[in-house]
Amino acid sequence: MRNELTTWLERISRLALIKVRDDEREIVIRDMGKIIEFFNSINELDLSNVEPLFMVLNEKPVLREDVARGGLDVNEVLLNVKESENGFIKGPKTA
């Protein structure tokens, strides 16, 4: 079970782009086991003829017209950016 959880954690960490630090690993593995067991309790129910409910709105979501409009002020947005060049945000390489 422990080894399974460790392999599992590595796979999920890659998908979520989150690394669990060495000092956190023990706690995460212990808690994950407990929480997944807690999740498994819904398997007791027979849900074969039930439709899922994803949102509780009775109305259709409101969408605005697809027309361009002014965005946020570039200088204000760049206040939160650590690395920028000529009004553009500098990001890491994609390949």
Partner 1 sequence: MDGLELVKLFHADPSLIYEYVIETYELIRKVEDSIKSYITLKPLDEVLKECKIVSDKIKDGFKGRLAGLLIAVKDVISTKGLLTTCGSKMLSNYIPPYDATVIERVSAEGGIIIGKTNMDEFAMGSTTENSAFFITRNPWDLSRVPGGSSGGSATAVSAYEATISLGSDTGGSVRLPASYTGTVGVKPTYGLVSRYGLISYGTSLEQVGPIVRDVSDAALILSVLSGHDPRDSTSLKVEAVDYTTFLKPIPLKKYRVAIIKECINEGVDSSVLSSFNKSIYRLENEGFEVSEVSIPIIRYALPTYYIIAMAEASSNLSRYDGIRYGYHVDVENKLWDEAYTESRSYGFGLEVKKRILLGTFVLSAGYYDQYYLKASKVRKLLYDEFSRILSHYDVVITPTAPSLPPRIGEAISDPMKLYLSDIYTATVNLIGLPAMSIPADIVNDLPVGIQLIGPRLSEGSLINIAYIHEVKSGLKNLIPTAVRPYV
* Nearest-angstrom CA–CA distance, 38 and 90: 43
Neighbour count for residue 77 (Cβ, 10 Å): 13
Contact between 66 and partner 1 (CB under 8 A)? no
Q: Judged by CB under 8 A, which of 56, 69, 85, 87 binds partner 1?
A: 56
Beta bridge partners of 6: none
Which of residues 1, 22, 70, 80 is near partner 1 by CB under 8 A?
80
What b-and-e string marks burial along 22-49, b requiring 16 or more CB atoms within 10 Å of the CB? eeeeeeebeeeeeeeeeeeeeeeeeeee
Residue 32 binding partner 1, by CB under 8 A:
yes
- For position 70 contacting partner 1 by CB under 8 A, the verdict is no
Contacts with partner 1 by CB under 8 A lie at: 8-9, 12-13, 15-21, 24, 27-28, 31-32, 34-36, 38-39, 41-45, 47, 50-59, 61-64, 72-73, 76-77, 79-83, 89-95
